[in-house]
Amino acid sequence: MEKVKTRFAPSPTGYLHVGGARTALFSWLYARHCGGTFVLRIEDTDRERSTQPAIDAILESMQWLRLNWDEGPYYQTKRYDRYREVIDQLLAEGKAYKCYCSKERLETLRNEQKEKGLKPRYDGHCRDDHSEHSPDEPYVVRFRNPDTGVVAFDDMVKGHIEFQNSELDDFIIQRSDGSLTYNFCVVVDDYDMGITHVIRGDDHVNNTPRQINLYRALGVKEPVFGHVAMILGDDGNKLSKRHGAVSVMQYREEGYLPEALVNYLVRLGWSHGDQEIFSVPEMIELFTPEQINKSASSFNTKKLQWLNAHYMKTLPREEVATELKWHLGRLGIDTDKVEGPALELVVKNYCERAHTLKEMAEKARCYFEDIKEYDAAGVKKWIKENSVEILKDSLETLQAIPAAEWQAATIDKALEGVAAKHEVGMAKVGQPLRLAMTGTPSSPGIGDTMELVGRERAFKRIEQAIAAFSQK
Ligand code: GLU
C-alpha cells in the first residue's frame, strides 16, 4: 500500500486560529496513525495579504501544540519556476489558454447572465481564439475545464460528492500580473509533494472538482480528500473574534496547556464512543477520518476549561512547570535569575488552586518578588491587637527549625505550638503569617506556603510584617 502523506497548508494572512489548528491536528494525526509523513506548506502566493509575522505565528503555534512536521515548511513563493513550467506545459498541450477578455466585456457578460437569472460564469470566448495579440496586451491563463460529464469523489468525511462539469467554468490559473491562483498552485504542490490525503476545511469543497479536473489534465492521480465541517461559537454562529479567543497563541496567553487544547480540538468534530480524555499516543492510535462528524461542531469553552484543569493536575509536574515558567516570564519574572521555589513545587501546591496557568503565575508571583503591600481587607479582618505578638513568637519558634527540616509538616507542627501557647485557633496564627508571606489572606496551607517562600526569606517577611503591622 502506498505510504500516507498528509499536509497542512495555511495561508499566512493572520494568526493560526482554532479551526486551522484542528485541521492541522487531524492531518497530523492521520499521518502519525498510518506511520506516514506530515508536510507543512505555507501558501504565501497572496503577496499583499501574507506577512512574516503571520508565518512566525503559525510556526510558533504548531510548535507549541507539538504538531511536528517531517517536511517543510515549503513556501509557494519559492516555487514560481515550477508553476511557470506547468503553465507552459498546459498551454502547449491546449489544456489551458490565454484569455484576452477585457474587464468591461466580462462585466457586461456577468450582468447579462444575472439578468437572465443564470449563474455568472465565463463563456469560453477565448477558448478557440487564434487571432494575433501584441506581446504587451494583458491576458490571463484559463484552464480548459471539460464541458460535459461529472466530477465525482468519495470524501473521507462527507461521503460521495458529485459536481456537473457544466456548472464549472474555465477558471483562471494565472492572473494578468503573472501571479498564480490557489486552485492551480495547490494541485501542483500536492502532486509534487506526493500528498496522498488532503484533509481541509469544507469551505474548499467547491474548489475540489476544479482541482480534480486539473489533476486529470496533468495526467496524474488526485489525492483522497476529507473535508471537515466548520467550528461554530457557543451561540451557533461561525466562530469569530466576537466569541473571545480564537487564535492558538491567545489560548496559550490565557493559560491553557497545549495538551488540553489538543485534546479539546480532537474532540471537536471527532469522537471515539463517549471518551473525552485522550493522551496523544491514544489519539494517534484511534484516529481515523471516517469518525469525523459530518456536521459543524460548537465551541464549548467550559469543556476546554475542564480539560485544562484535568491536565494541570495529572500531567508530569515538570511539563506544567515549563508552561508556568513562560507565564511568569510574561509577568516580568525570569525564574532563572530571581530567587524562588522550584517550579514543580509551585505546581504541586497550585494545580488545584488555579484554573489556568495564567492564574497560577499571578498567584505564585509573590514567591519570586518582594511583598510591596498587604491586602487591605485581609489586614482589617486578621490583624488584631495580639497579632504582632503572635508573629514575633512565631518567628522565634520557626527560627529553631534547622534549614534541612524546613518543610510544610515541621512548620505546621511548630505553629500549632504557638497557637496553643496563645490559646487561639490556628487561623489567628496562620492568617497574619499568610499576609506576611504572600501579602494576601489566601494561599495553600501555611506550612506549604512557608516552604515555598523559603526559610531565610520567610524570616525577613515576618520581620517586615511586624514592622508594618506595629504601626497600625
Ligand atoms: N491555503 C488554504 C487555506 O488556508 C488551504 C488550502 C488547502 O488546504 O487546500 O485555506
Counting from 1 in the atom list of ligand 1, the atom nearest the Cα of 200 is 8
Ligand 1 atom 6: the closest Cα is on which residue?
9
| Å from CA of 145 to ligand 1 middle | 22
DSSP for residue 404: G
Element (H, E) at 297: strand 297-298
Counting from 1 in the atom list of ligand 1, the atom nearest the Cα of 7 is 8
Crossing angle of the two packed helices 446-453 and 455-470, in degrees rounded to 10: 110
Which residue, 55, 9, 51, is CA-closest to 28? Answer: 9
Counting from 1 in the atom list of ligand 1, the atom nearest the Cα of 190 is 9
Supply the pLDDT for residue 449: 98
DSSP for residue 119: P
Supply the pLDDT for residue 207: 97
Supply the pLDDT for residue 234: 81
Give the number of other CB atoms < 10 A from CB of residue 438.
24
Supply the pLDDT for residue 472: 60
* Substitution site in 8, 15, 186 for ligand 1 pocket (most atoms within 8 Å of beta carbon): 186
Beta bridge partners of 153: 161
Give the number of other CB atoms < 10 A from CB of residue 249.
15
Which residue, 135, 110, 114, is CA-closest to 125? Answer: 110
* Substitution site in 43, 198, 211, 212 for ligand 1 pocket (most atoms within 8 Å of beta carbon): 43
| The length of the chain, given as a count of residues | 472
Q: What angle do CA 180, 183, 188 make, to 5 degrees?
A: 80
Supply the pLDDT for residue 242: 76
Contact status, residue 124 vs residue 101, Cβ threshold 8 Å: no
| Cα–Cα distance measured from residue 16 to residue 117, given in angstroms and rounded to the nearest whole number | 39
Counting from 1 in the atom list of ligand 1, the atom nearest the Cα of 203 is 10
Q: Which residues line ligand 1 (CB under 6 A)?
A: 9-11, 43, 186, 200, 204
| Cα–Cα distance measured from residue 433 to residue 252, given in angstroms and rounded to the nearest whole number | 34
Give the number of other CB atoms < 10 A from CB of residue 457.
17
| Å from CA of 10 to ligand 1 middle | 5
* Substitution site in 42, 76, 200 for ligand 1 pocket (most atoms within 8 Å of beta carbon): 200
Query: How many helices (H) does the chain have, and how many strands (E)?
Result: 19, 12
End-to-end Cα spacing for the chain: 80
Element (H, E) at 28: helix 18-33
Catalytic residues: 241
Supply the pLDDT for residue 1: 63
DSSP for residue 243: G
Structure-block grid coordinates of residue 413: 507542627
Supply the pLDDT for residue 240: 77
Supply the pLDDT for residue 47: 85
Structure-block grid coordinates of residue 352: 488545584
pLDDT digits (tens, 9 = 90+) for 156-198: 999 999 999 999 999 999 999 999 999 999 999 999 999 999 9
Which residue, 360, 363, 383, 365, is CA-closest to 436? Answer: 383
Supply the pLDDT for residue 119: 87
| Cα–Cα distance measured from residue 333 to residue 343, given in angstroms and rounded to the nearest whole number | 12
| Å from CA of 245 to ligand 1 middle | 22
Low-confidence ranges of the chain (pLDDT < 70): 1, 245, 472
Beta bridge partners of 228: 201
| Å from CA of 200 to ligand 1 middle | 7
| One-character DSSP codes across 303-338 | HHHHHHHHHHHHS-HHHHHHHHHHHHHHTT--TTTS
| Cα–Cα distance measured from residue 193 to residue 466, given in angstroms and rounded to the nearest whole number | 70
